[in-house]
Copies of this chain bind each other. A is one copy, B any other.
């Protein structure tokens, strides 16, 4: 088995100053694994934040190429982790082997994508307004702008993506790419995984000669609050529940110096099934949609939790098909017993609501999650019933039938902010419902056509974000290369001697990057 000592990672060393230990568990049996993790003391949290702050002046001024090499070294280290590692992750999360292998590839690809962004140089957003000494009535000074990392970033990993949204996940990659050292709070659900990934990051940092403190990791419960309140921390990345994310936002806003929190929290990802599409391929949609609902035991941020259709024989037939397919879905093991409890409670609340009918799914009991299908009266949407807006994390979804297009528009207007919305539609459907897309754009970060929201491509154009409560700040994304922008801020130089300017802004353009000069876009020289 891999060696796991359970000490905190602070400034390139390991630290175990505390007395409280926490354990990781086998997700399937609930049994404690043979590893103990030392909960960080307040002094250790402080030391971790200070280590990140000490690394910041050096790390932020490294060339983008040096940071790219660091990210690529992390990717290589992740790819080199062996079968024991994969086995350990599956044990801590109950996620199947293939999923973990795929997630590992995604995580290393993500590091490489940010390395590409660093090599491309557009993240600098370099802008130059040259001096106009003869301008009347006043001359213009030479003004140049680019973007630097905001400072040390605290990152909170997700339960449901032990690799891609965790220790070396998207937030960590974006922060490191931006030149921000990271203090990572290991998720209690997969601390052994976190340790092996942190080791990989530290190996990469040493290989590429990064400053100590560029990456730090702390274990334990309650340590996150101390971390977010630490004066050295300048931004927070979080993936998890609405309750947890909002608590961090509130803490960050109440600091003497408030800091931004990028929390990806809660989304029910409505899927609109339009009449013509149901007519043409209702059964296919039912089986594809069911597959999306139960994928990974429904434990995706973009799990489709709400399916809306217009009353018609086709929708009734679709409801029957979907019920039949959902009834045939097997139970699956969830990430941990806490998640299972929450799922059972969520399902119970849906059962208990007088205007919600249960359509398919076996009794929720035992140690696995039973896929469930419900149907809610449209009045729940029209009256803003909070139950329907709440994410039930797991393999459950709720159908809503609306009377007509007008009621559909009204129902959508009541939706809270979402990560995604999906239109299952034929060309005629889109033509017959021109008001849907403009309305959905106002509610979500991503609109899908004839696809399913689970499965988030890591690329330049992805938006994994959206209006509250999907995230705490709709102007960001936590997947894709745009995520780097959350951790950058602009700085302007006025009449700075060329030799002192950062490379992206020097007259000779030594990095060969695209820049905006005197109001005109200058592409990167070939």
Q: B-contacting residues of A (Cβ < 8 Å)?
A: 56-57, 61, 102, 116, 120, 122, 127-129, 137-138, 140-141, 143-145, 148, 150-151, 249-250, 253-254, 257-258, 260, 417, 427, 430, 437-439, 441-442, 444-451, 455, 457, 459-463, 465, 467-469, 472-475, 477, 482, 488-497, 500, 514, 516, 519, 521, 523-524
- Closest Cβ of chain B: how far from A15's Cβ, in Å? 25
Chain B residues with Cβ below 8 Å from A488 are 475
- Closest Cβ of chain B: how far from A230's Cβ, in Å? 15
- Is the beta-carbon distance between A260 and B438 smaller than 8 angstroms? no
- Is the beta-carbon distance between A460 and B519 smaller than 8 angstroms? yes
- Known contacts A129-B460, A450-B495, A521-B524; is A490 also within 8 Å of B514 by CB? no
Residue of A127, A469, A489, A514 with most partner-chain B CB within 10 A? A489
- Is the beta-carbon distance between A462 and B143 smaller than 8 angstroms? yes
Q: What's the dominant secondary structure at chain A's contact region?
A: mixed
Q: Which among B449, B473, B490, B514 is the interface contact of A463 at CB below 8 angstroms?
A: B490
- Closest Cβ of chain B: how far from A457's Cβ, in Å? 6
Query: Complex Cα distance A178/B127, Å?
Result: 19
Copies of this chain present = 2
Nearest residue in B to A477 (C-beta to C-beta)? B490
Chain B residues with Cβ below 8 Å from A489 are 445, 465, 467, 474-475
- Known contacts A430-B500, A469-B257, A494-B451; is A521 also within 8 Å of B519 by CB? no
Q: Which among B116, B417, B519, B523 is the interface contact of A519 at CB below 8 angstroms?
A: B116
Query: Complex Cα distance A483/B335, Å?
Result: 43
Query: Complex Cα distance A270/B207, Å?
Result: 40
Query: Complex Cα distance A378/B474, Å?
Result: 43
- Is the beta-carbon distance between B258 and A494 smaller than 8 angstroms? no
- Is the beta-carbon distance between B461 and A143 smaller than 8 angstroms? yes
Nearest residue in B to A441 (C-beta to C-beta)? B491
Query: Can you name 11 extra interface pairs (CB under 8 A) apart from A145-B460, A446-B491?
Result: A128-B461, A141-B457, A143-B459, A143-B462, A257-B467, A446-B492, A446-B494, A449-B497, A460-B519, A463-B491, A514-B521
Q: Which among B56, B253, B449 is the interface contact of A494 at CB below 8 angstroms?
A: B449
Query: Complex Cα distance A295/B129, Å?
Result: 25
Nearest residue in B to A249 (C-beta to C-beta)? B258
Please, could you name 24 A-B residue pairs with CB atoms under 8 Å apart, sorted by A? A57-B438, A57-B442, A61-B438, A127-B460, A129-B459, A143-B457, A144-B461, A148-B441, A249-B253, A249-B258, A250-B253, A250-B254, A258-B472, A260-B475, A447-B491, A449-B493, A449-B494, A450-B495, A451-B495, A460-B519, A461-B492, A465-B489, A477-B490, A523-B523
Chain B residues with Cβ below 8 Å from A250 are 253-254
- Is the beta-carbon distance between B129 and A457 smaller than 8 angstroms? yes
Query: Complex Cα distance A459/B442, Å?
Result: 30
- Is the beta-carbon distance between A516 and B475 smaller than 8 angstroms? no
- Known contacts A448-B494, A488-B475, A490-B482; is A127 also within 8 Å of B523 by CB? no
Chain B residues with Cβ below 8 Å from A450 are 495
Query: Complex Cα distance A490/B474, Å?
Result: 8
Q: Which among B102, B150, B253, B459 is the interface contact of A474 at CB below 8 angstroms?
A: B150
Chain B residues with Cβ below 8 Å from A427 are 497
Query: Complex Cα distance A521/B430, Å?
Result: 32
- Closest Cβ of chain B: how far from A471's Cβ, in Å? 10
Nearest residue in B to A117 (C-beta to C-beta)? B519
Chain B residues with Cβ below 8 Å from A490 are 445, 463, 465, 475, 477, 482
Query: Complex Cα distance A438/B488, Å?
Result: 16
In order of increasing CB-CB distance, the 5 nearest A-B pairs are A253-B253, A463-B492, A523-B523, A143-B461, A446-B492
Query: Complex Cα distance A469/B255, Å?
Result: 12
Chain B residues with Cβ below 8 Å from A491 are 441, 444-447, 463
Chain B residues with Cβ below 8 Å from A439 are 57
- Is the beta-carbon distance between A448 and B249 smaller than 8 angstroms? no
Chain B residues with Cβ below 8 Å from A258 are 249, 253, 468, 472
Query: Complex Cα distance A387/B430, Å?
Result: 62
